[in-house]
C-alpha cells in the first residue's frame, strides 16, 4: 500500500462506493466526494453488474476527474466482495466508504483527517437522516462516545460507514464473505475486538437518504437469521450479561428462534425472561 501525500503533505484518503442500478443517486454521491474541502483523495467505484446507466455515469465522472477509478463486474458478486476489491485496490493510508444512495457533506474528509487518533480502532460520527417527508433527523441525537467492545456487541452504534487505516481492514481480511446482512456491524465488531475501542463524534458529515425506504427494508426472517449468525460468530466475546441481553432480544423478535434460556437470563432480566417464556409457551399451545 502506498501512503501517498500531495504537495502540501496531506495523506491520501481512499473513498469507495459500491453501486448497483441507482445512476441518479450515484451521481449525487460522486459529486459529494468531488466537492470535499479535503483535496487529496481517490475515489474507487465498484459497479456490481448494473443493468442500467450506472456504467456511463461512472465513466463520465472518471473522465472529468483523474482521482476517480472504477471497476465494473461482469456478474453480480455481492456487497462484501465489492468492498474487499476496493480495499485491495486502495492506495490511501486511510479509507472510508459511501453508500451510493447517500452522500457526504463537504467537510467530511477534512473533519476525519483533523480528528483521527490511531489509538482508536477507527473513528466515525453522527449521521443526518433525510426522512421520507423531507425533514432531517440525527441518528444518535447529541451523544458523543468512546465505543467499547461491549457497546458494539450490543448494537451497531457506529452507523454504516467509518474512517480507518486501510492496513487494519486488510489485516482482518476485509469484510466476511459469509455474512450476507449486517456486514458493517460485523466489521466494526472485528475492528474493535482487534484494535481497541472506536470513537464516535457528534459531527454530522454524512447524510443517509431513506426517502426510498422501500429499497432498504429487508425481509424480517433474513434480519432475524442475520442476528443469530452474528450471535454465534461472536458469542465467545460476550459477558454473561451481554450474552443474555442479545439472546433475549433475538428470541423476542422471533419466538421460533432456537436459542435456549439460561439461568442467568432470569437473574439479569427476570421480567423480560418471564414474559418471553410465557409468550413461547402460549404460542406452542396454540400450535398444538
Check residue 215 and give its pLDDT. Answer: 43
pLDDT at 213: 54
Q: What is the mean pLDDT of residues 210-224?
A: 60
For residue 204, give the C-alpha cell: 454530522
Residues 6+ apart with CB under 8 A from 150: 239, 242
Question: What pLDDT is attached to residue 226?
Answer: 87
Residue 4 confidence (pLDDT): 67
Answer for the pair 157, 151: CB distance below 8 angstroms, yes or no: yes
Q: Which of 2-11, 36-45, 86-95 has the lowest mean pLDDT?
A: 2-11
pLDDT at residue number 205? 96
Q: What pLDDT band is residue 247 in, cutting at 50, 70 and 90?
A: very high
Tell me how many degrees the CA angle 267-244-169 measures, rounded to the nearest 5: 150
Q: 148-175 burial by CB neighbour count: b if 16+ within 10 A, else e?
A: ebebbbeebbbbbbbbbbbebbeebebb
118-131 residue pLDDT tens: 999 999 999 988 88
Is the pLDDT at 156 greater than 60? The verdict is yes
Q: Which three cell numbers stand for residue 50?
A: 448494473
Residue from 239, 200, 6, 206 nearest 109 by CA: 206
For cell 441507482, the residue is 22
The answer to whether the CB of 85 falls within 8 A of the CB of 125 is no
Residue 52's pLDDT band (boundaries 50, 70, 90)? confident
The pLDDT of residue 210:
82
Span of 6-10, 105-109, 127-131 with lowest mean pLDDT: 6-10
Average pLDDT, the chain: 90
In this structure, what DSSP letter does residue 35 have? Answer: T
pLDDT of residue 280: 86
Beta pairing, strands 103-104 & 198-209 = antiparallel
Cell representation of residue 276 = 418471553
Amino acid at each position: 500500500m502506498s501512503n501517498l501525500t500531495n504537495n502540501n503533505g496531506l495523506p491520501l484518503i481512499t473513498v469507495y462506493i459500491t453501486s448497483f442500478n441507482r445512476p441518479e443517486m450515484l451521481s449525487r454521491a460522486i459529486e459529494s466526494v468531488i466537492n470535499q474541502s479535503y483535496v487529496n483523495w481517490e475515489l474507487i467505484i465498484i459497479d456490481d453488474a448494473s443493468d442500467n446507466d450506472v456504467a456511463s455515469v461512472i465513466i463520465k465522472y472518471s473522465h472529468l476527474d483523474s482521482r476517480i477509478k472504477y471497476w465494473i463486474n461482469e456478474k453480480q458478486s455481492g456487497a462484501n466482495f465489492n468492498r474487499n476489491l476496493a480495499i485491495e485496490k486502495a492506495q490511501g493510508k486511510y479509507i472510508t466508504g459511501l453508500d451510493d444512495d447517500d452522500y457526504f457533506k463537504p467537510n467530511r474528509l477534512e473533519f476525519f483527517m483533523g480528528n483521527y487518533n490511531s489509538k482508536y480502532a477507527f473513528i466515525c460520527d453522527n449521521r443526518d437522516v433525510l426522512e421520507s417527508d423531507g425533514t432531517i433527523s440525527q441518528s444518535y441525537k447529541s451523544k458523543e462516545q468512546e465505543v467499547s467492545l461491549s457497546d458494539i456487541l450490543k448494537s451497531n452504534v457506529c452507523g454504516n460507514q467509518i474512517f480507518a487505516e486501510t492496513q487494519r481492514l486488510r489485516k482482518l481480511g476485509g469484510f466476511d464473505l459469509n455474512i450476507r446482512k449486517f456486514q458493517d456491524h460485523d466489521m466494526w465488531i472485528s475492528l474493535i475486538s482487534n484494535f481497541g475501542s472506536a470513537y464516535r463524534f457528534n459531527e454530522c458529515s454524512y447524510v443517509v437518504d431513506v426517502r426510498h425506504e422501500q429499497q432498504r427494508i429487508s425481509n424480517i426472517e433474513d434480519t432475524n437469521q442475520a442476528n443469530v449468525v452474528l450471535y454465534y460468530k461472536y458469542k465467545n466475546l460476550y459477558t454473561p450479561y451481554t450474552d443474555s441481553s442479545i439472546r433475549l432480544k433475538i428470541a423476542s423478535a422471533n419466538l421460533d428462534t432456537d436459542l435456549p434460556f439460561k439461568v442467568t437470563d432470569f437473574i439479569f432480566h427476570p421480567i423480560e425472561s418471564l414474559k418471553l417464556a410465557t409468550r413461547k409457551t402460549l404460542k406452542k399451545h396454540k400450535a398444538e
